[in-house]
């Protein structure tokens, strides 16, 4: 065996005063990929939690029991379901699953696993963690926080907007005054004052002052009075 | 400086981190097999030493990145593979084109003889030049796995670690590579496979 190569290499190392890079740099590098991967799965989980919250919120306020009187004030069809899919969260979920996949592939042993397995594990982890987040109220909190931003509101189902439709029989807000007849005044989520007459056939909840409610009914176009056919508590 | 040592790769790595002179033991142990490898995957005789030098310098700088869970030779082959591919690309040479000696060709088919569908081919003597040309026509992704499997005699797990792909992908590439090789050999009239 000749020593020429060995000498050349050692000479290059010595002339360049080369030393092995410190271990901590590699630890930081490899750890950062795991941090990216875990953070991506967590953000994906938040997207799942917010999506679950939006769906549950929609069905809680959109499908009253007992069924409302005709005409049906809200369609509970597959179209409704598709319309309320929060695309913004679906996109966030997809993007962060992709980032998680790329990050995991760059970990020390990430290359050993098939792409499909890595994606499946990331998706399942995000969904399980997202469900736990939902139960802990993370979805509600995230949605509530982002709801302050109009661009976000325009991208997802907005329960307030869905119940701000008096012309098609949906109205919600806070009861501010109750008359002896049982009729009452309500301030909707946009701050407008409404006079509400409780229809004689209404057998549902009778409101209390300062409570927040949602109602199915009809709008009397001449007087501007909303005639409540059914009244429900606003649960959030 | 001793030319041979009984120390394990891991011990040599630790020694080289502590004392750069000890790095020569690693060079001695691996320069021959790595030299053959970089030549096989496309480096010319004159370029091979330059590539090898860069491989070992890169190895020295990254010694602290060695993961003991990985076979040291696999990690070293990975560096050599990446460095050779990078070097060939810089020179606008298609990487992964097998450059084999007549002995390499014989050895290649001896190894392939273990694969039942190549047994007959291995038992015959074909013009090494024709076989070399057929091998050179293989797509780089097939050439590199066939080289590692049948010339470097690496296991699927080692090839997975060297090329950083899942073992299942290694198996698929080897099978497809063999089929592709059959195809290129057939175009040259070698069909007794």
Question: H/E/C letters for each residue in A39-86?
Answer: HHHHHHHHHHHHHHHHHHHHHHHHCCCCCCCCCCCCCCCHHHHHHHCC
Residues A14, B20: C-beta atoms closer than 8 Å = yes
Domains: count for chain A: 2
Instruction: Tell whether A219 and A102 lie within a shared domain.
Output: no
Cβ–Cβ contact A14 with B under 8 A: yes
pLDDT, position A64: 44
Instruction: Tell whether A42 and A121 lie within a shared domain.
Output: yes
Cβ–Cβ contact A5 with B under 8 A: yes
Ranking A20-29, A129-138, A156-165 by mean pLDDT, the lowest is A156-165
Is 70 exceeded by the pLDDT of residue A76? no
Closest A-chain CA to B65: A26
- Give domain status of residue A103, yes or no: yes
Tokens 């005063």 belong to A17
Last residue of a domain, one of A112, A128, A155: A155
Residues of B in contact with A102 (CB under 8 A): none
- Tens of pLDDT, residues B61-120: 999 999 998 999 999 999 999 999 999 888 877 665 566 677 777 777 777 766 656 656
φ and ψ at residue B176, rounded to 5 degrees:
-65, -35
How far is Cα B185 from Cα B176, in angstroms, rounded to an integer? 14
Domains of chain B in sequence order: 9-90 (1.10.1740.10), 102-187 (1.10.10.10)
Residues of B in contact with A18 (CB under 8 A): 20, 57, 60-61
Instruction: Tell whether A151 and A99 lie within a shared domain.
Output: yes
Instruction: Tell whether A142 and A175 lie within a shared domain.
Output: no
Residues A13, B23: C-beta atoms closer than 8 Å = yes
pLDDT, position B97: 59
Cβ–Cβ contact A2 with B under 8 A: no
Instruction: Tell whether A110 and A191 lie within a shared domain.
Output: no
Mean pLDDT of chain B, nearest integer: 84
- Give domain status of residue A11, yes or no: no
- Give domain status of residue A12, yes or no: no
User: By the 8 A CB rule, do A173 and A189 touch?
Assistant: yes
Residues B6-26: what's their mean pLDDT?
91
- The SS3 of residue B86 is helix
pLDDT, position B150: 87
Instruction: Tell whether A83 and A117 lie within a shared domain.
Output: yes
pLDDT, position B192: 56
């Amino acid at each position: 065996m000749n020593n020429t190569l060995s000498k050349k290499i050692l000479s290059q190392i010595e002339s360049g005063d080369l030393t092995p890079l410190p271990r901590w740099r590699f630890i930081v590098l490899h750890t950062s990929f795991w941090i990216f991967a875990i953070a991506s799965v967590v953000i994906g989980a938040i997207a799942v939690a917010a999506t679950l919250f939006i769906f549950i919120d929609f069905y809680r306020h959109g499908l009253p029991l007992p069924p409302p009187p005709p005409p049906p004030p809200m369609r509970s069809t597959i179209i409704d379901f598709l319309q309320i899919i929060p695309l913004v969260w679906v996109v966030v979920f997809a993007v962060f699953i992709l980032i998680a996949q790329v990050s995991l592939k760059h970990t020390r042993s990430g290359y050993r696993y098939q792409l499909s397995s890595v994606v499946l594990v990331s998706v399942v982890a995000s969904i399980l963690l997202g469900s736990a987040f939902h139960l802990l109220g993370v979805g509600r909190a995230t949605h509530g926080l982002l709801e302050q931003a109009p661009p976000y509101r325009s991208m997802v189902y907005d329960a307030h907007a869905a119940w701000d439709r008096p012309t098609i029989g949906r109205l919600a807000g806070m009861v501010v005054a109750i008359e002896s007849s049982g009729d009452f005044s309500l301030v909707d989520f946009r701050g407008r004052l409404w006079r509400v007459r409780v229809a004689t056939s209404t057998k549902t909840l009778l409101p209390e002052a300062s409570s927040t409610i949602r109602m199915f009914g009809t709008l009397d176009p001449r007087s501007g009075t909303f005639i409540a056919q059914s009244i429900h508590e606003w649960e959030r | 400086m001793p030319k041979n040592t009984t120390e394990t790769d891991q011990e040599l790595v630790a020694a080289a981190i502590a004392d750069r002179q000890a790095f020569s033991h690693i060079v001695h142990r691996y320069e021959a097999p790595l030299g053959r490898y970089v030549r096989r995957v496309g480096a010319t005789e004159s370029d091979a030493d330059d590539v090898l030098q860069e491989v070992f310098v890169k190895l020295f700088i990254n010694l602290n990145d060695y993961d003991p869970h990985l076979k040291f030779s696999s990690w070293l082959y990975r560096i050599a593979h990446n460095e050779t591919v990078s070097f060939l690309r810089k020179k606008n040479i298609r990487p992964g084109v097998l450059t084999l000696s007549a002995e390499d060709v014989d050895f290649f088919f001896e190894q392939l003889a273990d694969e039942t569908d190549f047994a007959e081919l291995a038992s015959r003597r074909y013009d090494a030049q024709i076989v070399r040309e057929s091998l050179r026509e293989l797509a780089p992704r097939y050439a590199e796995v066939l080289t590692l499997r049948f010339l470097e005699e690496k296991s699927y797990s080692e090839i997975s670690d060297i090329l950083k792909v899942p073992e299942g992908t290694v198996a698929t590439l080897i099978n497809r590579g063999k089929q592709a090789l059959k195809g290129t050999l057939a175009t040259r009239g070698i069909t007794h496979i």
